[in-house]
Amino acid sequence: MSSANDLLSASKAGSDPIATRRALRKNGMRLLDDGDQNDAVVAYGLTGRVRMDGIHATFGRRVQIDDLETEIALDAQVCINIFLEGFVETSVNGVPMPIPQRTAQGRWQSSAMIMSCESGARLRRRARKGQYLDKMVIGLSRDWLRRWANKADAPDAFRALLEGGPGFWPWQPNRKVEFLARQMFDIAARKPPFAALLLESHTLAIVCEALGATFGDSSDAAMPPAALTATEQQRLYMLVQYIERHSAQTLSVADMAGTLGTSQATLQRLVRKAHRCSLNAFVRNRRLENARQALLFGNSSISEIAFNAGYAHLSNFTAAFHKRFGYPPSAVRKQAAGPAA
C-alpha cells in the first residue's frame, strides 16, 4: 500500500506533519492547481500511524489545509475511510467521497466509506485555505481479508469484497467508532504506556465495526456495489445523510424522494434492493442503532436519546428498542456504566 494514499505524511506517529508542495510531488502526487513546487507548508495538524501485518492506518485531527488540489494513482487495495468532521472535497474516479454534515443541533454527523480500488484508480482532493478534517484511513490487504473468508461467521456479502473488483460501500459510523477514533487522536498526542498496543487494538475494533455494519447479515447490511449502479449508490448515501440530518423529525417518503430527485416507488424499490427491508423499517432501524450507540457511549439521558431518535413518548421508544434488540434501553445504559463498585 502506497504511503502516498493519504494526503498528509508525518515523519513519525504523533508528530505534526510538514506537508510541502515539493514533498507531496515527491510522494507521487500530481498538483493540479499550478502552484509553485516549493517548500511552503500547505498543511499541519496532529497525525498518527498504525502499521500491522496486512493493515496500515493513518489518522489526523484538525489537519488545516491551504489552497491545494492534488491527484494520485492508488494501489489495488481496500480502504476504510472515516470522516469525523470538517470538509475537503474528495473523489475517486469521479465518485464523490462522503463528507460530514452538521445536524440541526450543530453537531457534526460523521460519514464513512469502504472502498475497493483497482490499481491506478485516481484519488482527487480539492482543499481551500482554512478548511480542515478530522479523519482516518485504514488500508487492508486482500490477503489479510482472505484469512476470514472461510470462517463460519463470515457473511456471504463479504466475499464480494474479496473478488477484487472496484466498489464503494457507504456506511454510517456509530458512536463506538467515533469514540474509538477520537481516543486514538488522544493516544497519539499523550503517548501513554503501551500506546502502540492501544492504537493497534482500536484499529482492529474499528475494522470489525466497519465490516460488520457493511456486510453483516442483518437487514441493515448493504448489497455489494456490483448489484447497484453508481447512481443508486450515490442516492443511498444521500438518503442516509438526509435521515441523519433530520434525526428527531418525522420523515415522509414524499420529502425523502423529492430531496433525492426520484419517485417514491423508485426509492422504496432501491432500499428494498439494497437493504432487504422497507424504507420505513430502514429509517427506524438506523435511528434505533444510533440510539443504542448513544446509550453506550454518550452521556445524554434516555429521554433525550428517545427524542433524538424521533420518539415523542419514552414508552414508545422503549417498546421499539426492545422489539429491535431484545432488551430495553435501560439494560444498555447499565452495561455502559459497568459493574457497581
pLDDT at position 303 is 92
Those residues whose C-beta lies under 8 Å from the C-beta of residue 265, and which sit 6 or more positions away, are none
Strand duo 101-102 + 55-65: pairing: unpaired
**Burial of residue 255 (number of CB atoms within 10 Å: 0-12, 13-18, 19+):** middle
Strand ranges, E, within 13-160 = 19-20, 30-31, 41-52, 55-65, 68-73, 77-86, 89-92, 95-96, 101-102, 108-109, 111-117, 122-127, 131-140
Q: How far is it, in rounded angstroms, from Cα 188 to Cα 203?
A: 13
Q: Which cell goes with 168?
A: 464503494
Topology match between the domains 1-219 and 228-341: no
pLDDT at position 9 is 35
Residue type, 137: V
Please determine, looking at this structure, whether the domain spanning 228-341 carries the CATH number 1.10.10.60.
yes
Q: How far is it, in rounded angstroms, from Cα 79 to Cα 77?
A: 6
Q: How far is it, in rounded angstroms, from Cα 326 to Cα 255?
A: 32
pLDDT at position 139 is 92
pLDDT at position 338 is 60
**pTM reported for the whole predicted model:** 0.62
pLDDT at position 297 is 73
Domain boundaries, the chain: 1-219, 228-341
Q: In degrees to the nearest 10, what's the CA dihedral of 289, 290, 296, 299? A: -150
On the CB side of 340, how many CA atoms lie within 13 Å of its CA?
Answer: 1
Architecture of 1-219 per CATH?
Sandwich (2.60)
pLDDT at position 4 is 38
What string of pLDDT tens digits covers the 341 residues of the chain?
Answer: 444 344 333 333 334 455 666 766 676 666 766 555 566 666 656 778 899 999 999 888 876 666 777 788 888 789 999 999 888 888 888 777 878 877 666 778 888 888 887 778 888 888 777 778 888 999 999 889 888 877 666 666 677 677 767 777 878 788 889 889 999 988 988 889 999 999 999 999 999 989 888 876 554 444 444 466 767 777 887 787 788 778 778 888 999 999 888 999 999 998 888 778 899 998 998 888 888 878 877 788 999 999 988 898 999 999 999 988 888 999 888 876 665 54
